[in-house]
Structures are given as structure tokens and as C-alpha cells.
Chains A and B, each alone.
Chain A
Amino acid sequence: MTTDRETLLKTLVQRLSTIAPELEAELMVPDRPLRHLVDLDSMDWLNFLVSLHEHFGVTIPEADYAQLVTLNDLVDYLQKKQV
């Protein structure tokens, strides 16, 4: 049983907004590179992944970072992990 895309996307944006409070949810186009949409440095990115770990219990290894460019990539990835 996996969470539907819409809910996952919403959760991701909500988690991101705790790290980047200036983020505007309606501008978060899911197929554009995330780092173009939000000003995330490597510390922010790590904090984001820690927050996903706390929420979904999923650990994303560093080796997988390269494939996680857009929000859609993240949703696909989490669904594959049966979140």
C-alpha cells in the first residue's frame, strides 16, 4: 500500500517549507529541478532528508542523491520504497 502522488507531493512541500519558510507552495512545479525552485544548500538538503526520514522512516543513501532532481523524482523514489 503506497501513498498517492498528490498526498506525497503535498507532504514534501510541507516538509520543505519548514526548512525554507520563504517558499511559495503554488510555485513548486514538480517537474523542475528542486534547487532552481528553492534556495537549498547542502545543510538544508540534509535536514530535508532527515525530516523525510522522521516522517516516512525511509533512509535515502548519499549514492541516490544524483537521481533526486525534481519533486517528481522524489515522489517516484518514495513510492518505489513503498512509502
Chain B
Amino acid sequence: MIEFKLPSLGADMDEGTLLTWHIKPGDRVKRGQVVAVVDTSKAAVDVEIWHDGVVHALLVQPGEKVPVGAVLATLLTVGEVAPTPAPVSAARRAVSPSARLRAKALSIDPDTVHGTGAKGAVTLADIEAAATASPVSASAPVSPNTPDRQKEMRRAIAAAMSRSKREIPHYYLSEPITMATALAWLQQRNAGLPITGRILPAVLLLKAVAVALQRTPELNGFYRDGQFVPSTAVHIGVAISLRGGGLVAPALHDVANQPLAPLMQALADLVKRARAGSLRSSEMSDPTLTVTNLGDPGVQAVFGVIYPPQVALVGFGRVTPQPWVVDAKVCVQPVVYATLAADHRVSDGHRGALFLAELRELLQQPQALDAASAAPTALEGKPV
């Protein structure tokens, strides 16, 4: 028997409200399948399951608020027989005939309704109760802009950022990087493509960060229970501001191993879903480092606050024309300020500086960044 628990969907979440089940007892589920929608303070999140199996029982009903770690449902592994006596059999659930009729009329699956009758039997009253509860759950994907949501999100951000400033000894570094080669390459590439195939400079920056992280693993991972747990995968959390205030930082997965075109598509999709309030649990829970890009509103540089339990945050400002020295001559080049806020418990300024230097070198070779698994550690072989 596998217990499916409410996952933590970010450091700022301690409870969630189940909105909808997409499964019912007896259903076969696959690893990675979206099985439920859970409302957090930030968004309604599609929650994925991480085991193959057969749904045995749903233990939490739509509308219920439960803490992180609460068992939402139980699963049988494929081939496993339900333990007896099952409290409420998955196959034959007691549903009163009138309840079954009413459930059919209301298009409610009686198996998903919490029974209050004898031995957990579902009664007519249970169905009526589920019907009045379901408009909240099914048809109202909580709008990201309601005042309540705003307030909740503010509270969640405050909690996570206070914890960060309280617990994480941040150090900060910055480096101006010329984008002349990168932007020229990108412009040429985009000119030959239909408008829907265009790639934004932001995607190039994300890819460069991911590749550079492979050389400085102490910036990529989590600080948990007093120690650093590095991550081999690079899942970049992208800080996305929401219209009407607040922000979320869901993950783009395996950024280092993807060419730019699919990354651009994934980013566009992520931004769209973040703003529509439709993210997946894996995106909320597993970023290994966050990138914030405040170039569009037009600041030169951003020194960010690390999102715990992550151990670093990379910031980019606006790309602006700046005086730049090339071969002992001053010329004007497009320049971006890259910054790093990192956790001094895990890394030192020297390693942080190495990361920014690597980032700078990678951005001088944009074509190499388009490769599927770009690992051109530009500083390879140079003394560290």
C-alpha cells in the first residue's frame, strides 16, 4: 500500500486545500500523472503522483484543508490485493440507491464523496453536500487576482523571505557582461524564423546559468537539516511576476540539457500557466536555483533574496548600451549586469566569482549554448 501525501509546493507553503480529484478508486495511475488540484496561497496547483499503481481510497474530500504531508489517498501497487478488511472497499462502496440516483443527476461520482452513513455508506445528504461544495472546487480555479489571494500570497512571500533573511547568510557578487556577440547571434537566428519561433534573450541567459551551474555544484541544490544536499539535475526556478501583484517561481526542468527552441516554448508555457494560476506540483517544489530577471522594468541590477531551501539566486538587469573596452579601445556595447546572491554556509565568494566568470564566458559563445547538452565549461583547464 502506497500513501500519497500532500507534497510541499514551496518553502512558503504549510497547508493546502484540495480542490478537485482527477481520479477515483479503482483507477490505474501512472508516475507523473496529474491526479488532483490543490490550492496553495499562490495558485491552484496540478498535483502529480510519483508512483504507478491503482487507486485504493481517496481520504481527503474536495474543499478540505490539510497540512503538508497529510495522506490524501492510498494506492495499491500493480498486482497488490487490497488489505482486508478494507474500511471501505474500493470496488464495492456502499451507496444508498437514492444517493446513487441523485449523484447521477448531478454528475457526481459517488465514489469520490465522503460517506457519513453506516460503515461509511454514502447517503443522499452526502451527495447533496458534495453538490453544494463542488462549485467551489470544480468550476472556480481560484483567480490569482482576488483580494484574498493577494493577501495570502503577501503573507506567504513574507514568511519565506523573512526565513531566508533570518537563516541564510547571503553574500552578493555582480559582474557586467557584454551581450554584443550573444544578441547579434540571436538577432540573426531570429531573423530567419517565423515570429512564433523567435527566442528571447532571457532564454539564452537561463541556459547559460544552467550550464555554468554544472561547474559550481555548490550553488545548485538545497540546504536541509543543517547540511547542503547538491542536486545533479538543474531545474531553474523562474521568478514570474503576476499581474495585480505577487510572484511565483516555478521550475523549468533540466535546463542544461535542452536546446534553446524547446526551452523558449517551455518558458512561454510556464509564464502563461503561472499567470493563469495553473502550475504543476513538480514545478513548484523542485527548483534547484532561482533566476530573477528585472530587465524589463528597467533596473540595472537586482540583488535577490534566496528562496529557501535553495542556496543561491541569480539576477539579471536590463541590457543597456554601455562604454566598453575592446582591444584597448572604448566602444559602445550592450551590457547586462549579472548578480549572484549565495548562501555563505555552502559556498564562498571565490566559488561564486567563478560561477559568474563562467557565465560571462558562456555568453560569449551563444551558438554552443544552443546544443542539446551544452557543457562547454569555458574556463576548463584554467587554474581555479
Contacts and interface: CB of A to CB of B under 8 A. Distances in A.
Contacts of B296: 40-42
Contacts of B271: 43
B268 interface: yes
Nearest to B202: A42
Contacts of B190: 62
A59 B268 CA distance: 19
Interface string A12-51: 0000000011100000000000000001111100110110
B244 interface: yes
Contacts of A53: 195-196
Given A42-B296, A62-B190, A49 B200 contact: no
B187 interface: yes
Contact of B187 (A41, A59, A62): A62
B243 interface: yes
A1 interface: no
A59 B200 CA distance: 16
B194 interface: yes
B143 to A, nearest CB: 11
B191 A61 contact: yes
Nearest to A43: B271
Interface residues of A, number: 18
B200 A42 contact: yes
Given A42-B296, A50-B195, A62-B191, A22 B200 contact: no
Contact of A43 (B243, B244, B268): B268
A48 B198 CA distance: 13
Nearest to A61: B191
B201 A43 contact: no
B267 interface: yes
A32 to B, nearest CB: 16
Contact of A21 (B191, B243, B268, B297): B243
Contacts, number: 39
Nearest to B190: A62
B195 A39 contact: no
B198 A46 contact: yes
Contact of A59 (B195, B241, B267, B295): B195
Contacts of A22: 243-244
A58 to B, nearest CB: 9
A49 B243 CA distance: 19
A18 B271 CA distance: 15
Contacts of A50: 195-196
Contact of B200 (A20, A39, A46): A46
Contacts of B297: 39, 41
Contacts of B244: 22
A17 to B, nearest CB: 12
Interface string A46-68: 11011001000001111100000
B57 to A, nearest CB: 40
B191 A20 contact: no
A22 B243 CA distance: 8
A53 B194 CA distance: 10
21 contacts: A20-B243, A21-B243, A22-B243, A39-B243, A39-B297, A42-B296, A43-B202, A43-B267, A43-B271, A46-B195, A47-B268, A50-B195, A50-B196, A53-B195, A53-B196, A59-B194, A60-B195, A61-B191, A62-B198, A63-B187, A63-B191
Q: Which 9 A-B pairs have the closest CB atoms?
A: A41-B296, A53-B195, A59-B195, A42-B200, A43-B271, A22-B243, A50-B195, A62-B190, A42-B296
Interface of A: 20-22, 39-43, 46-47, 49-50, 53, 59-63
Given A22-B243, A43-B200, A60-B195, 14 more contacts: A20-B243, A21-B243, A22-B244, A39-B297, A41-B241, A42-B201, A43-B267, A43-B271, A46-B200, A49-B195, A50-B196, A53-B196, A62-B187, A63-B187
